[in-house]
Every structure is written in structure tokens, then in C-alpha cells.
Amino acid sequence: MAERLSIDEVRQVATLARLRLSDEQLQLYRGQLSTILDHIAKLSEVDVEGVEPMAHPSDLTNRLDEDVVGESLPVETVLAMAPAIEAGFLAVPKVLPDQEQA
Amino acid sequence: MTAPQSIAELSRAIRAKERTAVEVVRTTLDRIEAIDPDLGCFHETYPERSLESAAETDRRIGRGESPGPLAGVPIAIKDNIVTGFGRTTCGSRILEHYESPYTATAVERLLDAGAIVIGKTRCDEFAMGSSGENSAFGPTRNPCDPSRVPGGSSSGSAAAVAAGLVPGALGSETGGSIRQPAALCGVVGVKPSYGRVSRWGLVAFGSSLDQVGPFGSCVHDAALLLGVMAGPDRRDSTSSPRDVPDYPGAIEEPVDGLRLGVPRQYLQDDNDPAVNDAVRSAVEVYRDLGAEIVEIDLPLTEYGIATYYVISAAEASANLARYDGVRYGRRAEPAPGEDLYDMYARSRAEGFGDEVQRRIMLGTYVLSAGYHEAFYHRALQVRRLISNEYDQAFEKCHALLGPTSPCTAFPLGQKSDPLQMYLCDLYTINTNIAGICGISIPCGHAEVNGAKLPIGLQIQCKAFDEVTMFRIARLYERTT
């Protein structure tokens, strides 16, 4: 049976999802995701004409809180969790890529 | 296994000075140390902190102060609910060393009520799984038969209560992760209505589906824990301002003119025959007690899995974007010439396990240009229809009865295909999709190769009708 996803599509999704996967992983996920999407395709059987989408089950609207300054976590507590810090800031590798990312 | 002592009884004995909290906590820690290596319920325990809290509880009782309704009761917390002490890993390498700077509201309320947080329990990574096998730190085993899974994703919490290691525990649900392991382990597990318990401090998976809920060895204990945790929280804007009824005080009351619905789609031939038999017997128990049994039609039941795996994966792909190796969590070792994108992509590939990666990929795909309408938008429409179908059903009955899980506990390693694993959640998933409440209570066993494998009866009620749900559950428990 033809797989629903091509290997290039799986690679593209992995790129968008910020996951650097090996060729073996891409192959494995291609088959598994195709099977799952085949099942999900069942949704096309349901008549949804004119049905309002339901993003969440909550019946609450516009819950407002008092506009007062609350306590925040101390900066040093937050920075203590970071993998790399420099001069009191979060440190990351260079931001501008050498080539365009898709 | 020993017969677990109820939370209510244990806390009464401590407050009456028949036992000290310190002795209870010490016994609990000893039992965990002796038994847990074979089960893998706990990721870590907090001996020092627990004993200190217990000593303080005993001192307060000695001074005649009110120590709270959960005084000295050891409680286990699923490892995706943050505590301001110890680690919170979500069963993931990416958070292996993560220590939260704050405590979840649900846990804070248990602590305020006098409970002792004894440790964190193993779970499927980021609560994604139905067997407990997806933890990066090893599987949890079912105390009823250690060659079998306890269910998931709140695997350690369910198994710890079933093994009598703790009298109660917290889990979380996105699509059945409390009720399904409760069923497979033979304990009580509750999925509260969406908004009943604050999600502050519950590590986000599917934000429109997630809820924290309790495990207990009896209905009363589950009601007691939910009552302590429930209620509005200004740190979670989706937590409901509705009053919290006295759940444990209400459970013995009858439900006037009790009408129970049995959806024809719930007792399918594909279920384990022992499961169908046990659920049919439970329905007869209610009939004998005078309940009117009505047949209900929920034709969209079979679309729940597809709807859920679009919505939950979409929400997960967004929620798990925060694990980027920048502010906290694992960062891949830098290699020469790598830029920021490389760091993200390698940290996430190294830190997340297979199931989490699959769901992030699935969610990314269904939200991507060209597929958003066909998958995500359509799933939200089907979600509305599933919710409407429940509304109509609850006009005809107080609650829906059925099996919690189509099967009993299966051997470790048996379900290697992701879709087969997803199908375990067929009967629990729509509760989360619609935001209503559900409970699983033990209703018998299947005899398999000499092992007695528990079967769960699921009772679903409309949103914020937990009182009715507990009363119906208690009615069965009291009778059987």
C-alpha cells in the first residue's frame, strides 16, 4: 500500500517541528504517521456542514483579573535553570543562520 | 499486596493520636523501598522533607491545632505536576534535571490540607501513552501481575495506590490517563470536568483537554481529594468559579429517579468478553437497586480517537515548542559552526522520546498550511458534534455506564504499534473532548493464566455534575 506521506514531506514536517532526525527515524515515522493519518481520515465521513468549531469546552468568557502588580520569580532563580548564561542573560548560539532555513 | 487503609481512616487515626504522622510516613517510605524496585512506581521520593512535615503535623496535633482533613496522609504526585522541591521530569530526558521554582495549585492545596507529598511517580513521557512503557526512566509494572502494564499515562500513581504503597495519588488526564490505569490496576480514578481543578503547575500537553485528578482505593477517598483540590484559581483563567460542593459528604445520598444510560457503542464485540460481562453485571446491579436503564445511541463514539489525535497533537506541538534548550531543560552539546536552529533541532531530537516526537510531528502536520482545514478545523467541528451528542444523552439519563477500557492489563511490549496503543483510549477520550467528568471504579476481574486482572466500570456525567457521578459510583461500591 502506498504510504500517505512521502519521505520529503516527513523531512519537511521534522524541519518545521525543530527535530533533527536520522534517516532511519524519518523512515520509521513515515510509516507510523501514515497509518495514523489513514485512521484520522475517518473524520471526512462526518457531515460537519455549518458546524461551529469547538476549540475548548469552557463556558467562561473574558475572565478578568485585578490590575495589580504581583510577585515574580527572582531573576537568579530563573537563570539557575538555564543551560547557559552570560553576564546575567540567557546565552544562545549565533542567531543568524549561515543559510536560509526552510 | 495488603488491603490499603483509606485516606479518611488514616487521617482520622493520626488526628486522634492513635498513630503518629512520623510513623505513618516512615512505614510508607520503608514499604516503597522494599516493594517499589519490582514495580517502578516512583521516580523519586522525599524522605527528609516528608519526615520533617510529618513531625510538624504531629507537633500541631500535640498543640491542639487543626492539622487539616488530610493530616499526615502520604500522597504520591505524577511526575508532570510541578513541586517547588525535588525534580519534575515528565518522564523525559529533556527535563531529566529540571527543578521547578514553584508548586502546582493542586499540590499546594493538598499540602495546605495537611497531606505529605511522599514522592513523584513515573509516567509516560509528557503523559503520552497508555501503558507506562514510554517513560525515559523505565516502565512501571502492574501490581496485579508484574509481567503486565499498569496502563497510562499516570502509570506510577495508579500502581502505587493499587500496591498499597500510598492511600492516594494525583494523576493527570488528557484522554483517559487517570481512568484507564485506574481500571487496569483495580483502583478508583477520576477525570474532573474541564475547569474543576486548576491546571497551574500541570505541565501542558493539550491545554483544552488537560485536567488534574485523584486516585484512591475507594470512592470516598477520591471525592475527598477532589474536594480539596477543586475550585477557582486566579493563576488559571480556565478554572471555574463555580462553588465546590462537599463531595465526600454527599456521596451516600441517593439520586432521585436514577436513570442510567448504556450507549450501544460501548459494549462492542471487539472488547475483551470478560470486560463486557463484568460491565453487563454491573448494569444489572444498578437495575436491581431500582435504577431505570435506558439504551443510548452515541454514533460518533468511533470518531473520538481521530478527533483526539488531531486536537491533542496540535496542542502538544505548540505546547512542547517551549522545550528549546534556551531557558531550561536539556541542551545538546554545541558543535562547531552550529547556529541557533541546529541547537533547537538537536536538543529536541536528543531530549524527546519516539512517542513525543511522533505526536509533535503529527501536530505540526495537521496545523501546517494546506492541511489545517482538512484536519484541525474539521476535528474541532466533530468535537462540537461529539459534545452535542453527550448533551442529548444527558437529557435522557443522569450518567452513562460502560467499560473504562476495552481490554484488561496487557503484557509489557505487546502493543508496539502506536495506533493500536491509541485505540486503548476509545471509551475515555470523548470525556476529555467534551470536557465532562468521568470516574473508573473496579467492577470485577478477568482470570488470565492464574492472575486476576481488574476491570473498570466507567461512569460519565455532564460537566460539573461530579456529585451525581460520585453518588452513582458509591452506590455500586456500597452494594458489591
Q: What is the CATH number of the domain that holds B145?
A: 3.90.1300.10
Measured CA to CA, the distance from residue B198 to residue B212 in angstroms comes to 8
Which residues from chain A sit within 8 angstroms of residue B331, using beta carbons? Answer: 83-84
Mean pLDDT on B166-188: 98
Q: Is residue B103 part of a domain?
A: yes
- Domain of residue B109 covers 7-250
Mean pLDDT on B424-453: 96
For chain A, positions 7-26, list CB contacts with chain B under 8 A. Answer: 9-10, 13-21, 25
Cell 512505614 found at:
B27
Mean pLDDT on B4-21: 92
Neighbours of A66 (CB within 10 A): 6
Residue-wise pLDDT tens digits, B238-247: 999 999 999 9
Q: Is residue B151 part of a domain?
A: yes
Which residues from chain A sit within 8 angstroms of residue B342, using beta carbons? Answer: 20, 93
Cα-Cα-Cα-Cα dihedral sign, residues B383, B367, B317, B417: positive
- Give the mean pLDDT of chain B: 96
Question: Looking at the predicted structure, is the pLDDT value of residue B259 above 80?
Answer: yes
Q: Is residue B165 part of a domain?
A: yes
Predicted confidence at residue B3, as pLDDT, reads 47
Percent of chain B with pLDDT over 90: 95
A101: closest CA of chain B, how far (Å): 8
DSSP conformation class of A87: T
Confidence category of residue B1, pLDDT binned at 50, 70, 90: very low
For chain B, positions 322-381, list CB contacts with chain A under 8 A. Answer: 324-331, 334, 337-346, 348-349, 352, 354, 357-358, 360-362, 364-366, 368, 374-375, 377-381
Confidence category of residue B337, pLDDT binned at 50, 70, 90: confident
Measured CA to CA, the distance from residue A19 to residue A25 in angstroms comes to 11
A interface test, pick of B358, B381, B422, B430 with most A CB neighbours within 10 Å: B381
Interface contact flag, B385 A46, Cβ < 8 Å: yes
Domain count, chain B: 1
For chain A, positions 48-87, list CB contacts with chain B under 8 A. Answer: 48, 51-60, 63, 65, 73, 77-78, 81-84
Per residue, the 3-state secondary structure of B392-452, as one string, reads HHHHHCCEEEEECCCCCCCECCCCCCHHHHHHHHCCCHHHHHHCCEEEEEEEEEEEECCEE
Whether B221 and B167 have beta carbons less than 8 Å apart is answered as yes
From B306, B310, B340, residue closest to A94, measured CB to CB? B340
Confidence category of residue B405, pLDDT binned at 50, 70, 90: very high
From B327, B374, B377, residue closest to A53, measured CB to CB? B377
The catalytic position among B177, B193, B239, B312 is B177
Residue-wise pLDDT tens digits, B127-157: 999 999 999 999 999 999 999 999 999 999 9
Residue-wise pLDDT tens digits, A6-42: 999 999 999 999 999 999 999 999 999 999 999 999 9
Residue in chain B closest to A34 (alpha carbons) equals B362
Q: Known catalytic residue: B177?
A: yes
Predicted confidence at residue B117, as pLDDT, reads 98
Percent of chain B with pLDDT over 70: 99
Predicted confidence at residue A1, as pLDDT, reads 55
Which residues from chain B sit within 8 angstroms of residue A61, using beta carbons? Answer: none
From A16, A53, A60, residue closest to B368, measured CB to CB? A16
Question: Looking at the predicted structure, is the pLDDT value of residue B4 above 90?
Answer: no
Question: Looking at the predicted structure, is the pLDDT value of residue B400 above 70?
Answer: yes
- The distance from CA B386 to its chain's CA centroid, rounded to whole angstroms, is 22
Whether B222 and B70 have beta carbons less than 8 Å apart is answered as no
Q: Is residue B455 part of a domain?
A: no
- Could you tell me the domains of chain A? 7-44 (1.10.20)
Residue in chain B closest to A39 (alpha carbons) equals B306
Mean pLDDT on A53-82: 91
Predicted confidence at residue A2, as pLDDT, reads 72
Sequence-ordered list of residues with C-beta below 8 angstroms from that of A84, at least 6 positions apart, any chain: A90, A91, A92, B331
Residue in chain B closest to A89 (alpha carbons) equals B327
Residue in chain A closest to B435 (alpha carbons) equals A57
Predicted confidence at residue A102, as pLDDT, reads 47
Interface contact flag, A36 B419, Cβ < 8 Å: yes
Predicted confidence at residue A61, as pLDDT, reads 87
Confidence category of residue A3, pLDDT binned at 50, 70, 90: confident
Per residue, the 3-state secondary structure of chain B, as one string, reads CCCCCCHHHHHHHHHCCCCCHHHHHHHHHHHHHHHHHHHCCEEEECHHHHHHHHHHHHHHHHCCCCCCCCCCCEEEEECCECCCCCCCCCCCHHHCCCCCCCCCHHHHHHHHCCCEEEEEECCCHHHCCCCCCCCCCCCCCECCECCECCCCCCHHHHHHHHCCCCCEEEEEECCCCCHHHHHHHCCEEEECCCCCECCCCECCCCCCCCEEEEEECCHHHHHHHHHHHECCCCCCCCCCCCCCCCHHHHCCCCCCCCEEEEEHHHCCCCCCHHHHHHHHHHHHHHHHCCCEEEEECCHHHHHHHHHHHHHHHHHHHHHHHHCCCCCCCCCCCCCCCCCHHHHHHHHHHHHCCHHHHHHHHHHHHHHCCCCHHHHHHHHHHHHHHHHHHHHHHHHHCCEEEEECCCCCCCECCCCCCHHHHHHHHCCCHHHHHHCCEEEEEEEEEEEECCEEEEEEEEEEECCCCHHHHHHHHHHHHHHC
Predicted confidence at residue A63, as pLDDT, reads 83
The catalytic position among B100, B153, B347, B405 is B153
Interface contact flag, A98 B337, Cβ < 8 Å: yes
Q: Is residue B294 part of a domain?
A: no
Mean pLDDT on A92-96: 84
Residue-wise pLDDT tens digits, B343-393: 999 999 999 999 999 999 999 999 998 899 999 999 999 999 999 999 999
Which residues from chain B sit within 8 angstroms of residue A29, using beta carbons? Answer: 357-358, 361
Residue-wise pLDDT tens digits, B81-93: 999 999 999 999 9
B176: closest CA of chain A, how far (Å): 16
Question: Looking at the predicted structure, is the pLDDT value of residue B96 above 80?
Answer: yes
Contact pairs from chain A to chain B, CB under 8 Å = 185
Q: Is residue B180 part of a domain?
A: yes
Which residues from chain A sit within 8 angstroms of residue B233, using beta carbons? Answer: none
Which residues from chain B sit within 8 angstroms of residue A50, using beta carbons? Answer: none
Predicted confidence at residue B457, as pLDDT, reads 98
Predicted confidence at residue B335, as pLDDT, reads 87
A32 touches chain B (CB under 8 A): yes
Q: Is residue B360 part of a domain?
A: no
Q: Is residue B45 part of a domain?
A: yes
Confidence category of residue A99, pLDDT binned at 50, 70, 90: low
